């Protein structure tokens, strides 16, 4: 059977970042077909392989190894590792990589993230894989996973030890480890840079940390930790370690787009690429000579990246050029934005909280509704776009609608410069909502009203 036939019949789908689906649909046949199509795209050669800490990830990784061996490729198995660490090792050697991860989505789902030599998988690459005529070897017998090679993790850590020596001398940093891939290496890196590290909130059960939708519990927990430990900062990452969270000395998390904006500024970037969901503070700050907006998803950012810096509303930072002496890493990275922003605070001799004053007073909030299947979300947005008068009902006040951006979902802009954005997730049965306004309270009020209104529409109460 051809890879294209198997993938067409599978419920697994390419989203904003890799092939994703429920664990049961990422069976041996689907995984083997996806790997065969990837090898067909890249050609035979060594493939670096890693996985996150989801319960299903080791078994999927074993299926990937069996599929690679059946196609004639050798595997450099790295075991549990952060996605950017795996990608960095492969990019340096101009070799391919596969990461078994569902990133931040719930544990009953998983995925495969593919890296051809020196780059992330593009949307054009996805299209090629989906029509691949590669033969799919069936009835493979996966062997137990081999002992992992820690080279990739070690080199990723050395990358930042060299670029930010002694950065954290005298600082105490709380690391909320959760179930993030690369958590131990990240704590060790912080210590190597001089920090006293408070390791906390480690979990052996998978915790789905969504850096775009910071829960009230996460906010409360950060405040508790910094007050008790007297820390200068708190950090965390999502499940595969490519999306960061950074909290200041008061326990307040920087929103991902604010973190990316400050990090790009700290790195001296003049050219920035960011999705449409990023706060308009990116333009209003005046930090950059050129700013380009894209659809949501790292492939779209990378397509326009050039030698600049890209960042997303989830906080992930991508570099297309050399910054702070670091070679380009055109995939989401969680470590660089954290360290770059801390260095900015240290250079100015101010606490992290003071950096918020560098940004225009634009505040964003985000939330999600689930379960919302893709077809249901598409039907609602189509109906809403056709009858744009309904958009006014999303806003709690009688404010005129001035524009609709259809780059990714529907982004409504109102005469008072407030923004409400509805976007179906590309990875899970979710509808994401984003709001922006001049204060955090009004942005939250917008979000609450818009979510209630949208929920009613999804239930047929127009």
117/73 Cα distance (integer angstroms): 14
Mean pLDDT by 10 residues, the chain (462 residues): 96 89 96 98 95 97 97 97 98 97 89 95 96 94 96 97 98 98 98 98 93 89 94 97 97 95 98 94 96 94 96 95 96 98 98 96 89 90 84 89 93 95 84 93 95 92 72
pLDDT of residue 274: 97
pLDDT at 299: 93
Instruction: Give DSSP secondary structure letters for 283-340.
Output: HHT---SEEEEE-SSHHHHHHHHTTSEEE-TT--EEESS-BTTBPPEEEEESHHHHHH
- Supply the pTM of this predicted model: 0.92
- Comparing CA positions, the residue from 189, 226, 222, 231 lying closest to residue 339 is 189
What is the SS3 assignment for 49?
A: strand
Residue 386 is predicted with a pLDDT of: 84
Query: Rounded CA gap, 349 and 328, in Å?
Result: 28
Among left, alpha and beta (phi > 0; psi -120 to 50; other), residue 45 is left
Q: Are 7 and 134 in contact (CB under 8 A)?
A: no
Q: Domains (ranges, CATH) in the chain?
A: 3-149 (3.40.120.10), 153-358 (3.40.120.10), 363-458 (3.30.310.50)
Whole-number Cα distances in Å, 181 to 82, 84, 212, 332: 5, 10, 18, 14
> How big is the chain by its Cα radius of gyration, in Å?
22
SS3 at position 457: helix
Comparing CA positions, the residue from 181, 175, 178 lying closest to residue 153 is 181
Reported in sequence order, the residue ranges of 156-268 that DSSP labels E, i.e. its strands, are 172-178, 196-202, 233-237, 244-247
pLDDT at 301: 96
Strand partners, 323: 326
3-state helix, strand, coil in the chain (%, to 5): 40, 25, 40
Active site residue 103: yes
Residues 6+ apart with CB under 8 A from 299: 16, 17, 120, 121, 122, 123
Helix (H, G, I), strand (E, B) or coil at 460: coil
Tell me which of 10, 103, 153, 366 is the catalytic residue: 103
């Amino acid at each position: 059977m051809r890879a294209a036939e198997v993938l067409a019949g599978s419920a697994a789908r390419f989203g904003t970042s890799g092939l994703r689906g429920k664990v049961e649909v990422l069976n041996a046949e689907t995984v083997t077909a996806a790997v065969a199509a990837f090898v067909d795209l890249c050609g035979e050669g060594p493939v670096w392989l890693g996985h996150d800490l989801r319960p299903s990830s080791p078994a999927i990784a074993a299926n990937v190894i069996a599929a690679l061996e059946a196609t004639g490729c050798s595997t450099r198995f790295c075991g549990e590792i952060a996605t950017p660490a795996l990608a960095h090792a492969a990019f340096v050697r101009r070799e391919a990589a596969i990461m078994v991860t569902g990133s931040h989505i719930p544990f009953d789902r998983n995925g495969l993230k593919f890296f051809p030599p020196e780059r992330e998988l593009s949307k054009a690459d996805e299209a090629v894989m989906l029509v691949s005529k590669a033969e799919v070897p069936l009835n493979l017998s996966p062997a137990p996973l081999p002992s992992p090679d820690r080279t990739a993790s070690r080199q990723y850590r050395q990358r930042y030890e060299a670029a930010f020596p002694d950065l954290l001398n005298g600082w105490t940093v709380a690391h909320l480890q959760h179930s993030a891939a690369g958590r131990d290496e990240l704590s060790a890196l912080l210590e190597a840079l001089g920090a006293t590290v408070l390791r906390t909130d480690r979990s052996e059960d998978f915790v789905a940390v969504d850096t775009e939708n910071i829960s009230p519990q996460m906010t409360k927990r950060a405040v508790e930790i910094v007050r008790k430990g007297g820390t200068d900062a708190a950090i965390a990452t999502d499940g595969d370690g490519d999306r960061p969270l950074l909290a200041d000395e008061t326990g307040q998390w920087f929103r991902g787009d604010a973190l990316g904006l400050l990090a790009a500024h700290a790195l001296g970037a003049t050219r920035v690429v960011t999705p449409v969901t990023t706060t308009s503070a990116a333009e209003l700050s005046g930090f950059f000579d050129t700013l380009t907006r894209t659809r949501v998803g790292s492939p779209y950012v990378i397509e326009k990246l050039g030698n600049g810096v890209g960042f997303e509303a989830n906080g992930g930072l991508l570099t297309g050029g050399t910054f702070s002496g670091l070679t380009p890493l055109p995939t989401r990275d969680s470590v660089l934005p954290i360290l770059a922003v801390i260095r900015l605070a240290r250079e100015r001799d101010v606490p992290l909280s003071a950096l918020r004053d560098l940004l225009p007073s634009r505040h964003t909030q985000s939330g999600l509704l689930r379960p919302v299947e893709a077809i249901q979300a598409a039907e609602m947005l189509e109906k809403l776009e056709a009858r744009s008068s309904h958009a006014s009902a999303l806003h709690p006040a009688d404010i005129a609608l001035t524009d609709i951006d259809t780059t990714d979902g529907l982004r409504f802009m109102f005469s008072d410069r407030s923004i409400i954005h509805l976007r179906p997730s590309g990875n899970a049965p979710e509808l994401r909502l984003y709001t922006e306004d001049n204060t955090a309270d009004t942005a939250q009020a917008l979000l609450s009203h818009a979510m209630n209104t949208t929920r009613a529409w999804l239930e047929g109460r127009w």
